[in-house]
Amino acid sequence: IAADGQELVKFGQIIAKHCLDKRCSTELLCATQQTHTISSQLGIVARVKAVTAESKSSSELLVSNARNLIQAVLHLLKAAEAACVKGLRQPLPDSEEEEVAAFCRQWRKKLLWHRAKESLNSDRDELGLRKTRARAEPTLTALVQEQSPQAKH
């Protein structure tokens, strides 16, 4: 889990580097730093727990750190979504950064398609406001879960 957290840190750093909006880039860098710190802490706690006797407090600390990492990753992905919506500079071709940008463009395309489809919905409530369907907008979190090798098992 800690190693996966570090992979998402790299993902966030790449998006922040290519983000067109300075504020979104700054927020994303803060989220990546928080995720990096918590991921490192989780790795340390896991290594210590592996060499020490089984204790309830060390197990609780491990679970608590894992929960904190999940929350930090969710924050990182929300910040990455905002950066992707604002737009990304084109990275160098045939690089890891190009792969990340392509992944983000794929998500943004799904999001824009979803929003366009929703805007065509003519259902209105009693105030004349457009009703939205129960289907939520696509998120980077969902797309990351779809791409995850563990999600396929």
Distance CA 100, CA 15 (A): 8
pTM reported for the whole predicted model: 0.78
Which residues of the chain, if any, have pLDDT below 70? Answer: 121-122, 124-126, 128, 130-135, 147-153
Q: Residue 140: helix, strand or coil by DSSP?
A: helix
Distance CA 9, CA 31 (A): 8
Give the bridge partners for 88, in sequence order.
19
pLDDT at 152: 44
Judge whether 36 and 9 are in contact, CB under 8 Å. yes
Distance CA 143, CA 138 (A): 8
Judge whether 35 and 71 are in contact, CB under 8 Å. no
Distance CA 91, CA 105 (A): 12
Query: Residue 134: enclosing H or E segment and its boundaries?
Result: none
CATH of 1-147 given 1.20.120, 1.10.10, 3.10.310, 3.40.50: 1.20.120
Distance CA 32, CA 19 (A): 14
Domain ranges of the chain: 1-147
Distance CA 47, CA 77 (A): 27
